[in-house]
Amino acid sequence: MKKTIPLIIVIAGGIVWLLWVFIPHRVMADDFYYKFYMPWARAMAPFAIILGVFSLSMMHTAKIRRRAPKWQYSYFFFAGFIATSLAGFIGGTQKGGLYMWMFENMAMPMSATMFSLLAFYMASAAYKAFRARSAEATVLLLAAIVVMLAQVPIGVKISKYLPNISQWILDVPNLAAKRGIMLGVGLGSVATTLKIMLGIERSYLGGD
Amino acid sequence: MSFELFSNLVGAFFTLAIFSFLYKDNPLYQMSEQLLVGISLGYSFVLSYERVFIPFFWQPIVLKHQFILIIPAIIGAFYLFRFSRKLSWLSRYPIAFSMMGTGASVALAMHSSILVQMRQAMVPIENFNLFLIFLGTVTVLLYFFFSKAHTGVYGKFVSIGKWFMMVGFGASFGLTVMARISLLIGRIQFLVNDVFAKIF
């Protein structure tokens, strides 16, 4: 009941899904996929979202209650969450309302800046990591410099061939490496999904 | 002060608050970080209510009387037992339902990551670039084949794959840095054109 039935659901359902890929019959394409699985999965989805909200809220509540380090900032989490939710539920999600205003003028600038910060940290991390200590690191560094320079006007001023060299790096050695890695990833994911389907891999069900 | 300028000033305040982390971790950054998490969660919560809960849960059950959907709704509610020590095993049922899709991903991953890639790789070697792509793909694959020791002539052949990967990682790194730089340029343009230019 605790583990066997969920495992049977995964194995039996997995076989049905596998058949769905190979059998384009109405029973599979229409009855199973559109009439059964999609409406059922969508009816379950709101609870997964609620689980996420509960989980994060409980974590911050516990942080405040235990006076954990930087607990004061958890109030800002609740302030942001409650204000945005109220703005959305009461004022609506249309453009011009408080909900979209908060998204456009608070969330968007902050997340864009957060990602742009990575430019500084990637540059300093690259300096530490690359410093051309080995031949392989030198090749990595050179490829990165060529690709970066080819995308800015100064690159063309240094050499008119730079954009072509960059494109060649992307189209030939980069493609070969990515294809090899992609094939490995494909083989790995097929093996993992088969292990899940056959009940060998059960970690997604949790302990006990 | 116009409403547009006020909105831009709010955006500029939070932009500078996040940038302040470049100096060191500080209360302004911590406050903005938690606020961003809260606003993002609130944003997706409302959006999910409007685009998932109402059309796929409320309307089918309450308005269209598709009462059979009460069953998946109850199973979905089992997610919330994740927090119960005694009944957390109930949350395995909705997880198991969503994991059913792995059956399809066996065939789909085989198709997209293996068969399509192999079809693209198996072309007549008509020029030097195609030869390099073939050599690179084979040596990268062999580099991750650990059943045979990477020694001798075989080891030297396999190490070619390492060089191809270094070039590939370098190219990916360069593209990622440039994407972040373009975001940085966007933020600086916002500060200069939309905020400072309108104030001064």
Q: Which one of B58, B173, B189, B194 makes the best mutation probe of the A interface by having the most chain A beta carbons within 10 Å?
A: B173
Mean of all residue pLDDT scores within chain B: 93
Whether A206 has a pLDDT exceeding 80, the answer reads: no
Q: According to the model, what pLDDT value does residue B200 have? A: 80
∠ Cα B9 B14 B17 (to 5°): 125
B45-71 mean pLDDT: 94
Q: Would you say how long chain A is, in residues?
A: 208
From residue A142, give the alpha-carbon distance in Å to each of A149, B134, B171: 10, 23, 9
Mean pLDDT check: name the lowest of A135-144, A177-186, A199-208: A199-208
Q: What is the pLDDT of residues B123-163, one digit of tens each?
A: 999 999 999 999 999 999 999 988 889 899 999 999 999 99
Tokens of A158: 């240094």
Q: Which one of B47, B99, B120 makes the best mutation probe of the A interface by having the most chain A beta carbons within 10 Å?
A: B99
| Alpha carbons A169 and A161: distance in angstroms, whole number | 12
pLDDT band at residue A134 using 50, 70 and 90 as cut-offs: confident
pLDDT band at residue A121 using 50, 70 and 90 as cut-offs: confident
Whether A126 has a pLDDT exceeding 80, the answer reads: no
CA atoms in the 13 A half-sphere facing the CB of A52: 14
A173-195 mean pLDDT: 93
Q: According to the model, what pLDDT value does residue A130 have? A: 67
Minimal CA separation from B189 to chain A, in Å = 12
Contacts of A55 in chain B (CB under 8 A): 82-83
ipTM: 0.85
Q: What is the pLDDT of residues A13-25, one digit of tens each?
A: 999 999 998 888 8
Mean pLDDT check: name the lowest of A116-125, A159-168, B92-101, B172-181: A116-125
Other C-beta atoms within 10 Å of B117: how many? 20
Contacts of B144 in chain A (CB under 8 A): 180, 184
| Residue B22 shares a structural domain with residue B95 | yes
A71-94 mean pLDDT: 96
| Residue B91 shares a structural domain with residue B115 | no
Nearest to A113 among B18, B53, B169 (CB): B18
pLDDT band at residue B85 using 50, 70 and 90 as cut-offs: confident
**pLDDT > 70: what percent of chain A?**
98
Q: According to the model, what pLDDT value does residue A28 have? A: 85
pLDDT band at residue B36 using 50, 70 and 90 as cut-offs: very high
A129-135 mean pLDDT: 74
| Alpha carbons A85 and A99: distance in angstroms, whole number | 8
Of B102, B118, B136, the domain-final residue = B102
Of B102, B135, B164, the domain-final residue = B102
| Residue B189 shares a structural domain with residue B167 | yes
Q: According to the model, what pLDDT value does residue A208 have? A: 57
Contacts of B49 in chain A (CB under 8 A): 46, 88-89
Residue B193: which residues within 8 A CB-CB, separation 6 or more?
none
A67-73 mean pLDDT: 94
| Alpha carbons B140 and A178: distance in angstroms, whole number | 9
Q: According to the model, what pLDDT value does residue A31 have? A: 87
| Residue B43 shares a structural domain with residue B65 | yes
Of B54, B80, B102, the domain-final residue = B102
| Residue B71 shares a structural domain with residue B114 | no
| Alpha carbons A172 and A176: distance in angstroms, whole number | 6
CB contact under 8 A, B40 and A112: no
| Alpha carbons B4 and B12: distance in angstroms, whole number | 12
CB contact under 8 A, B11 and A109: yes
Q: CA gyration radius for chain A?
A: 26
> Chain A residue closest to B188 (CA)?
A113
Contacts of B33 in chain A (CB under 8 A): 73
| Residue B66 shares a structural domain with residue B113 | no
Q: Which domain holds residue B80?
A: 3-102
| Residue B150 shares a structural domain with residue B121 | yes
| Residue B113 shares a structural domain with residue B95 | no
Minimal CA separation from B109 to chain A, in Å = 6
Minimal CA separation from A144 to chain B, in Å = 4
B116-123 mean pLDDT: 90
Q: Is A4 exposed, middle or buried (0-12, 13-18, 19+ CB in 10 A)?
A: exposed
| Residue B71 shares a structural domain with residue B128 | no
Minimal CA separation from A95 to chain B, in Å = 13
Q: According to the model, what pLDDT value does residue A89 have? A: 96
Contacts of A205 in chain B (CB under 8 A): 92, 95-96
CA atoms in the 13 A half-sphere facing the CB of B32: 27
A106-128 mean pLDDT: 88
Tokens of B64: 């269209």
Minimal CA separation from B74 to chain A, in Å = 8
Burial per residue of A29-54, b for 16 or more beta-carbon CB atoms within 10 angstroms, e otherwise:
eeebeeeebebbbbbbbbbbbbbebe
Q: What is the pLDDT of residues B12-30, one digit of tens each?
A: 999 999 999 999 999 999 9
Q: According to the model, what pLDDT value does residue A207 have? A: 65
Minimal CA separation from A176 to chain B, in Å = 5
Q: CA gyration radius for chain B?
A: 27
CB contact under 8 A, B177 and A99: no
| Alpha carbons B80 and B93: distance in angstroms, whole number | 11
CB contact under 8 A, A174 and B171: yes
| Alpha carbons B129 and B164: distance in angstroms, whole number | 13
- How many domains does chain B divide into? 2
Q: According to the model, what pLDDT value does residue A33 have? A: 87
pLDDT band at residue A132 using 50, 70 and 90 as cut-offs: low
Q: Which one of A174, A185, A196 makes the best mutation probe of the B interface by having the most chain B beta carbons within 10 Å?
A: A174
Residue A71 carries which side chain, given as an amino acid letter? Answer: W
**A206 close to B (CB below 8 A):** yes
CA atoms in the 13 A half-sphere facing the CB of B126: 3
A65-69 mean pLDDT: 94
Q: Which one of A193, A202, A203 makes the best mutation probe of the B interface by having the most chain B beta carbons within 10 Å?
A: A193
